[in-house]
Amino acid sequence: MHTFLHLNRIYSVFMGMDLRCQVNNHAHRTGEMDLERLLVRRGQPFSLALQCSTPLPPKHKLAMILHLGKEGEVVVKVLDARSGHDKWWFRQQRAQNEVLLTVHSPADTPVGIYSMTLLLLSPDGHILEQTIPEMFYLLFNPWCKADSVYLPDEELLEEYILNENGLLYQGSWDQISSLPWNFGQFEQDVVDICFEILNNSPAALKNPEIDTANRADPVYVSRTITAMVNANDDRGVVSGRWDGKYDDGVSPTRWTGSVAILRRWSEAGAQRVRYGQCWVFSGVACTVLRCLGIPTRPVTNYSSAHDTDGNLNVDYLYNEQLESVSEGRKDMIWNYHCWVESWMDREDLPKGYDGWQALDPTPQERSDGVYCCGPCPVKAVRDGDVGMKYDAAFVFSEVNANLVTWIVYPDGQRSQVSLNQKTVGRNISTKSVYGDYREDITKHYKYPEGSVKEREVYEKAGRQITQLNGGPGQLELKIKHAQAILGTDFDVIVEVHNVGGEDTPAQLTVTSNAVTYNSLHRGECQRRTASLTVPAQKAHKEVMRLRYDHYGACVSEHNLIRVTALLQANSQPDVILQEVNIPLSMPQLHVKVLGYTVFVSRKLIAHISFTNPLPITLRGGVFTVEGAGLTAPREGNIGPGEDVKVKLSFKPTRAGLRKLMVDFDADRLRDVKGIATLIVRNR
């Protein structure tokens, strides 16, 4: 303790301060983060105990000073009497050699890491003594009515703030799959990394005082985090890559959670972590926002449009040989796209836009010159209010754009061959708060297809309901397939139906291409052309067998095959095009943890078993647990159909319901996942 000489007497009244971390942190629902440091939520009182060598002298006063900001540039004087909701204040109860202090913070004060000092003042206001500065963390408080992130539903808060495990949805709209993800927002030091991310934002580096004051606003904080999760403009966390070349980093499919990524970024001195794709960006953003106290959930939009020219059309261009000539264009439809939603009031907007806000940390387009998107009120998207900030027009097109397909002829002329208004924005999904299953939230983003309300919204957004010229032709085209399993051969059936009264000759071209989940072509697998005559009122079936020999070498890490069929009747100018994305089913790892009772810090053995489903040998296989590189303790390769059993030992660090996530990657097979759920007890 500092002592001061005053009036020829040495005062040393202050002996120490007890931050009462256990009591406060449990009351503020931060006990899972830490019990050694003080972590509290704004708008909710917390208590401190000041130990003194003697009772405080009569008429002497206590004063409290707070410093906030990297250099303590923001100074707050805490009043020593009850004050309004917009001021910090404390009350004290003196009991012999101890003073119990109850500190009240405003519900709209900046979040951050505060430094707190207590002063002893003489009756005439001179400083006689002061405590060593103590640190505490102040977070958003969704349990507090006056906080702009207030969410009045305990079940929702249990999921959207307190749940450290979740599901990210992937696959395709008609074959949805889920990826378990460890958010880990209460893991050791994650809260420090979250504030480190804010401190490394361009605004914080340029003008720390203004940035610190702005951290009272969840709109500002969430927009900053959205920009900082990707490393495109700044000292952001994750570098995005989609071209399959990940040798100088970690393949996006290998991550099983956010914590390893955040720690790697922090330990390297705010150096970007290679590599992520949309679900990784959304998983990391969800961790940071939940940790800071903003209710957040990951969201997946299926058949998500990336409309760069803002015309609400995504244009696919093919030549007459059905080869894509869209290269270089950025308009595309992603099989799925992940973002997050955060719950907050929008005091910066007219009434009616509070609640869920879409935030998209994947670097797609610049917003105010920076790669970020949101917060955008989900209600603004549903109602076609595309002028609302931030980025409502972009999110509106992600869930509403038309898919227009063109044939480009050698002379440069184009012919529009299909227009689909129902493809984009399907089965918008998040994990249910009631368990590990999917909740469909499409109705929050758009009105039912074909409804009057939908038409009104389109017109408000400046988009017409467009029609292809002419009525339906007499030929119809459908593509069917059985469930496809990676490593096997499987059939795709293209059906041509003649609904007219005359036999019709036609040309059919079918191609299969390996693509990524965001529509980048990795190579053509097979191609078939056929001249056929379809009898009136009958159907012709063309069967294409997709062989692993053909697709195995070029299939992307997302294990996705796109089959495109183009049909042109000899007597008619119209061309019909149909396309399906076929996700290839993946094997799973079987993870079994030995022992009935699991305790914190006690060594456990996990048995992981895996069968190579491919007709080829796998080389360079690596098993990863929670991002920590644990390699298989066996040398050599895994032959076709061969069973592998691996033992891994680990020690749980925290009690509660925990999930052990394991990933396997090899040269020709990636993103194989397994999970075991444990109940860990304190000893």
Amino acid (1-letter code) at residue 580? V
Reported as a pLDDT band with limits 50, 70 and 90, residue 537 is very high
Select from 121, 118, 122, 125 the least CA-distant residue to 103. 118
Reported as a pLDDT band with limits 50, 70 and 90, residue 310 is low
Report yes or no: 456 and 448 within 8 Å, Cβ to Cβ: no
Give dist(CA 481, CA 576) in Å, integer: 19
- CA 385-388-389 angle, to 5 degrees, is 155
Q: Has residue 7 got a pLDDT over 70?
A: no
Tokens 């689909």, located at residue:
420
Tokens 């089959």, located at residue:
563
Report yes or no: 554 and 522 within 8 Å, Cβ to Cβ: yes
Higher pLDDT among residues 232 and 399, named by residue = 399
Side-chain-side CA neighbours of residue 594 (13 Å): 10
Average pLDDT value for residue range 468-478: 69
Beta bridge mates, 665: 622
- Count Cβ atoms below 10 Å from residue 565 Cβ, excluding itself: 24
List, by residue number, the catalytic residues. 278, 337, 360
Burial 379-388 (b: 16+ CB within 10 A, else e): bbbbbbbbeb
Q: Has residue 307 got a pLDDT over 80?
A: no
Reported as a pLDDT band with limits 50, 70 and 90, residue 246 is very high
Coil/strand/helix, residue 577: strand
Coil/strand/helix, residue 599: strand
Select from 599, 486, 497, 502 the least CA-distant residue to 541. 497
**Residue pLDDT, tens place only, 189-241:** 999 999 999 999 999 999 999 999 999 999 999 999 999 999 977 799 999 99
pLDDT score, position 468: 46
pLDDT score, position 6: 42
Report yes or no: 340 and 299 within 8 Å, Cβ to Cβ: yes
Give dist(CA 513, CA 509) in Å, integer: 13
Residue 196: which residues within 8 A CB-CB, separation 6 or more? Answer: 266, 270
| DSSP output for 392-427 | HHHHHHHHHPEEEEEEE-TTS-EEEEEEESSSSSEE
Q: Has residue 95 got a pLDDT over 90?
A: no
Reported as a pLDDT band with limits 50, 70 and 90, residue 643 is very high
pLDDT score, position 330: 66
Amino acid (1-letter code) at residue 364? Q
Q: What is the pTM of this model?
A: 0.91
Residue 333 DSSP label: E
Average pLDDT value for residue range 305-319: 78
- Spell out the domains of the chain, with CATH numbers in brackets: 14-139 (2.60.40.10), 154-461 (3.90.260.10), 475-583 (2.60.40.10), 590-680 (2.60.40.10)
Give dist(CA 561, CA 490) in Å, integer: 12
Q: Percentage of residues in the chain with pLDDT exceeding 70?
A: 93
Residue 131: which residues within 8 A CB-CB, separation 6 or more? Answer: 1, 2, 14, 17, 50, 117, 118, 119
